[in-house]
């Protein structure tokens, strides 16, 4: 055991430093997402979704840095990552709309002016919608019409269409009064 520690001392120290720094960065990013969520009065489930994205980002960065620390050369890493991204790129090209909706979900987290409970009107010439926002998910919004119909509206389309606020929910205003 001592031989392993002595032989790989630099790699172990570098790995420990990288892990500590990445845990700190992850903490800062989660704190920032939580602050944005609270400031914008975003539902906690949407904030937790951002936490998952942050975790994925930190794990990918950690894998890259650990590979460098343990002696995998830049050329080998470039080959591995380019091969992996080529396969992922081909696979994701077939499901590009999913990526579009995930990206739109991230954008909606930070800049969507409407909240759960608000009544909105989507100005779409093919399917005009007036409904209450029931939930905002990673891929789509759940909208409930006055007739009780549940509409699942993709996040990428909500960013492409004009949206009007018909009625603001009183749910958040009621919390302040308590």
Condensed to tens digits (0 to 9), the pLDDT of residues 22-47 reads 999 999 999 998 898 888 888 888 88
Sign of CA dihedral 163, 119, 115, 44: negative
For 106-149, how does the pLDDT look when each residue is reduced to its tens digit (9 = 90+)?
888 888 888 888 999 999 888 889 999 998 888 889 999 999 99
What's the pLDDT at 177?
37
Q: How many other CB atoms are there within 10 angstroms of residue 54's CB atom?
A: 18
Contact between residue 116 and residue 135 where contact means Cβ atoms under 8 Å apart: yes
What's the pLDDT at 11?
86
Instruction: Give me the residue spans of the domains in the chain.
Output: 2-94, 114-177
Q: Where are the alpha helices (DSSP H) in 43-125?
A: 44-69, 74-94, 96-111
Sign of CA dihedral 40, 46, 47, 52: negative
pTM comes to: 0.54
Query: Class of the 114-177 domain?
Result: mainly beta
Contact between residue 40 and residue 50 where contact means Cβ atoms under 8 Å apart: no
């Amino acid at each position: 055991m001592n031989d392993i520690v002595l032989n790989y001392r630099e790699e172990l120290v570098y790995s420990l430093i990288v892990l500590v720094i990445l845990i700190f960065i992850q903490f800062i990013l989660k704190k920032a997402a939580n602050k944005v969520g609270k400031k914008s009065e975003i539902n906690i489930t949407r904030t937790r979704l951002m936490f998952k994205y942050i975790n994925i980002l930190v794990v990918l960065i950690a894998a890259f840095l650990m590979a460098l620390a343990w002696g995998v050369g830049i050329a080998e890493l470039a080959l591995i990552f380019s091969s992996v991204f080529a396969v992922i790129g081909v696979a994701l090209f077939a499901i590009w709309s999913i990526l579009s909706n995930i990206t739109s979900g991230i954008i909606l987290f930070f800049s969507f002016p409407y909240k759960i409970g608000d009544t909105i009107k989507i100005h779409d010439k093919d399917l005009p919608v007036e409904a209450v926002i029931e939930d905002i998910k990673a891929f789509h919004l759940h909208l409930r019409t006055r007739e009780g119909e549940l509409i699942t509206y993709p996040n990428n389309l909500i960013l492409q269409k004009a949206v009007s606020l018909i009625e603001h929910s009183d749910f958040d205003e009621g919390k302040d009064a308590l």
